[in-house]
Amino acid sequence: MVQMNTEWNSARDWRVSCQSNWGVPKTIDLWDLVRNQRTLKGAFPLVTLSRLVQGLLDQVVIRDLVSVSEDEQGVVWFEVTGESRVGGRSSIEVEVQAKVLVTCQRCLEPMVQTLLESVRFDVVTQAQFDALDNEDIDPDESDVVVGSRQFDLLELLEDQLILAIPYVPKHLKCQPKAPLHDVGAEDEGLGVEQKPNPFDVLARLKGRQ
């Protein structure tokens, strides 16, 4: 996967231009975007992404731009730019970012995780895609999407954010949660009681004499 910009884009101009297109992105004409080298920006509520938020903590719910909080949680911002070179490949550049609430796997407290993805995809026809030999595709180099006049942009953005969630999210600094009680010590105590007392054994042997 080709990673590009990996910094949280808090530039006011960028945010404002995304937010001017507020709402859940529907399908788009990807061929038109590529052919005319257009850029599409937008912003929408994070909770729209049901696959992403499933299994996560309850996320901040944003209903309109007025309710976007200072900490920027609950919103997805994105930018998609089409590109086509004469005689070359068509591609799109996708930038998407959001902040989600996850559970820290060290202290088990909630934490805000920044998700950023900036990826370039080659845009191919279905026929080109079918003809691709999977062994020729280097997963680190080549991301491919099949172009369509009804391309599901929401699904692509959601996939990218899901991929951006760390496998084991952790605060930069925190302490592991202390266990409720020490089970190991109890087991050990039980073990000692069950062992025969060596002095009893000795006394029995002496009694036989």
Stretches 9-17, 73-81, 171-179, 201-209: which one binds Zn ion (CB under 5 A)?
171-179
Residues between 50 and 89 with contacts to Zn ion, criterion CB under 5 A: none
- The distance in angstroms from the start CA to the end CA of the chain is 82
Helix (H, G, I), strand (E, B) or coil at 42: strand
Q: How far apart are CA 98 and CA 26, in angstroms?
A: 18
Q: How far apart are CA 106 and CA 110, in angstroms?
A: 11
What is the nearest approach in angstroms of Zn ion to the Cβ of residue 176? 8
What is the nearest approach in angstroms of Zn ion to the Cβ of residue 174? 3
For Zn ion (CB under 5 A), the number of binding residues is 5
Residues between 87 and 126 with contacts to Zn ion, criterion CB under 5 A: 104, 106-107
The neighbour count for residue 209, using CB atoms within 10 Å, is 4
What is the nearest approach in angstroms of Zn ion to the Cβ of residue 170? 6
Q: How far apart are CA 20 and CA 73, in angstroms?
A: 18
Token pair of 63, please?
């209903």
Q: Given candidates 171, 186, 201, 203, which one binds Zn ion under the rule CB under 5 A?
A: 171
What is the nearest approach in angstroms of Zn ion to the Cβ of residue 108? 7
* Length of the chain counted residue by residue: 209
- Should residue 144 be labelled a site residue for Zn ion when binding is judged by CB under 5 A? no
Q: Interface with Zn ion by CB under 5 A: which residues?
A: 104, 106-107, 171, 174
